Structure 1
Amino acid sequence: MHVKTATGDELIRKNGCDIRQLYPWDGVVTPPWNSTLCSIRPTESSTPHGHDTDETFIFVSGRGRARVADEERDVVPGDVIYIPHGTDHIVTNVSADEPLTFVSIYWLQPAQ
């Protein structure tokens, strides 16, 4: 069994989020995707950005708003959002006292 604990992982600040890298995971299988556990501090937003990878957010705690291109909606635990590559997106934590946490899974589309 391979176990990754929060106390053993480095937390970095990127795109306005506190990020814990989940995959790739040294010494364990290398999947065709990467993933991070992201947390947005109360009343803060991620930095608006887009990138070359497709991305899926799976919200696990807190409440917020997500904007992908020109579409915006509220998000709660259990919501899943798909973001096509090259699309600007931003996530805002609407709580004054609780972090908004989600898993980000991202991958490059195979060349066609």
Structure 2
Amino acid sequence: MHVKTDADDARIRKNGCDIRELYPWDGVVVPPWNSTLCSIRPTESSTPHGHATDETFIFISGEGHLRVATEERRITPGDVVYIPHGTDHEVTNTSESDPLTFVSIYWLQPAEHDKDA
């Protein structure tokens, strides 16, 4: 059995989020996707950004707002959001006291097959 503990895992600060890397898991498994546990501090927002990977957010605690391109919506625990690669997005924690926490799963789409084949 392989176990990662919250107390032992390192955190980094990236894109305005406190991030704990879940996968790939060095020495255990390298799946075709990566994932992180993300936390946004009270009243803060992630840095607006986009990237080459498709991404899914699974919100697990807290409340806030999510902007994907020009679309905005309120988010609560249990919401699942897909964000296509290259799309600018930003998450805002609207709480004065509690973190907004979500899992981010992200992956590169396979290259398009040669259309002439």
Structure 2 residue aligned with 1:35: 35
Q: How does 1:11-50 map to 2 (within 5 A)?
A: 11-50=11-50
Classify the secondary structure of the residue corresponding to 1:7. coil
Structure 2 residue aligned with 1:10: 10
Q: Any stretches of 5+ residues in structure 1 without a counterpart?
A: none
Aligned residues: 112
Structure 1 residue aligned with 2:72: 72
Q: Deviation per CA, 1:58-106, whole angstroms, max 9, x where unpaired?
A: 0000001000000000000000000000000000000000000000000
In the alignment, the residues of structure 2 paired with residue 27 and residue 13 of structure 1 have an alpha-carbon distance, to the nearest angstrom, of 23
Larger radius of gyration: 2
Q: What amino acid is aligned across from residue 62 of structure 2 in structure 1?
A: G
- Runs (4+) of structure 1 moved beyond 4 Å? none
Q: Which moved more, 1:1-10 or 1:72-81?
A: 1-10
For residue 24 of structure 1, report the CA deviation from its aligned partner.
0.5
In the alignment, the residues of structure 1 paired with residue 85 and residue 67 of structure 2 have an alpha-carbon distance, to the nearest angstrom, of 14
Q: Deviation per CA, 1:20-50, whole angstroms, max 9, x where unpaired?
A: 0000101112110000000000000000000
In the alignment, the residues of structure 1 paired with residue 29 and residue 93 of structure 2 have an alpha-carbon distance, to the nearest angstrom, of 33
1:101 aligns with 2:101: yes
Q: What amino acid is aligned across from residue 94 of structure 1 in structure 2?
A: T
Give aligned-pair identity as a percent: 79
For residue 7 of structure 1, report the CA deviation from its aligned partner.
1.3
Q: Any stretches of 5+ residues in structure 2 without a counterpart?
A: 113-117
Q: What amino acid is aligned across from residue 80 of structure 1 in structure 2?
A: V
Classify the secondary structure of the residue corresponding to 2:25. coil
In the alignment, the residues of structure 2 paired with residue 24 and residue 7 of structure 1 have an alpha-carbon distance, to the nearest angstrom, of 18
In the alignment, the residues of structure 2 paired with residue 65 and residue 5 of structure 1 have an alpha-carbon distance, to the nearest angstrom, of 29
Q: Deviation per CA, 1:4-23, whole angstroms, max 9, x where unpaired?
A: 01111111000000000000
